[in-house]
Amino acid sequence: MSRPEPEKSIPELTSVFTALGDATRLELVARLGSGQPRSIVQLAEGLEITHQGVTKHLRVLEKAGLVMSERSGREKHYRCVPEPINDARTYLDTVAEQWDAALLRLKKFVER
Amino acid sequence: MSRPEPEKSIPELTSVFTALGDATRLELVARLGSGQPRSIVQLAEGLEITHQGVTKHLRVLEKAGLVMSERSGREKHYRCVPEPINDARTYLDTVAEQWDAALLRLKKFVER
DNA sequence: GACAAATACAACCATTTAGTTGGATATAAA
DNA sequence: TTTATATCCAACTAAATGGTTGTATTTGTC
């Protein structure tokens, strides 16, 4: 009945969703989930945009808190940070629950 | 171990995430979850943007498949459509699982 | 030391986005 | 029938976004 009370602030949530709202970044997210931390060139492998383009996408992910980076020699290694994804998941859970309930109420209402 | 194989296409997913990546639209999503279908003016109530602005946001939500609209007299009523939210949820579930596993592997690796 | 590789910084461009305003159209209410 | 309400369309603006290029800096390799 009550609206979703997010644990994280709305701005934090929107920045996570915005970060996920791009095909290239979803690809990076997928790549970072399949193993060790990876450098920018590694992550850019096979993508048809420049390294700079990838760097920008990684910065978006980093600002949203989805990844962390660490310098190692001349390379910069990015790794995934699961917490924000889980926050977003939790939020979507409550929204989905709310919407399902709303639809149930509506159905009953239509049946008089 | 394998990357998330989305049920829905990547473009569909990104448009859902993009639609959720805005505070006003998250607010609309919350409002639509708490009851009957609502008109544009009803949805715009209390928001400090114009009706046209709200209309635009609703169109983004509709293109992403998150809401449906139906004319009723001079009003247009919007209601929630849960499926895309659930698709997004499912996707985040697999990503989170993948990331947790990646972090576990990394931890074990660091411990030699 | 010279050269190659990985990243960083800055400027630039085209497109999209969030928002506005103004005027038109359709419907409901007086 | 006049008037008010709800939406729609189109044009416009400012800012953000996704991408590029060029140059510089650091670091590893020969």
Kindly report, residue by residue over A68-80, the tens digit of the pLDDT: 999 999 999 999 9
Residue B1: predicted pLDDT: 64
* Range B10-110: architecture per CATH: Orthogonal Bundle (1.10)
Kindly report, residue by residue over B91-110, the tens digit of the pLDDT: 999 999 999 998 888 888 88
Q: How far is the CA of B7 from the C1' of C7 (A)?
A: 36
Q: How far is the CA of B56 from the C1' of D2 (A)?
A: 32
A53 touches strand D (CB under 7 A): yes
Residue A46: predicted pLDDT: 96
Phi-psi group of B5: left, alpha or beta (phi > 0 → left; psi -120 to 50 → alpha; rest → beta): beta
Mean pLDDT of residues grouped by 10 in chain A (112 residues)?
78 97 98 93 97 98 98 97 96 96 87 75
Following DSSP, what letter does each residue of A22-54 receive, concatenated?
SHHHHHHHHHHTTSS-EEHHHHHTT-SS-HHHH
8 Å CB contact of A21 and B18: yes
Residue B112: predicted pLDDT: 65
Which residue has its C-alpha nearest to nucleotide D5's C1'? B74
Q: Supply angle C-alpha A32, A36, A41, rounded to 5.
A: 65
Average of per-residue pLDDT values in chain B: 94
Task: Report which DSSP code applies to B72.
Answer: E
- Residues lower than pLDDT 70 in chain B: 1, 112
Residue A37: predicted pLDDT: 96
Q: Read off the pTM.
A: 0.93
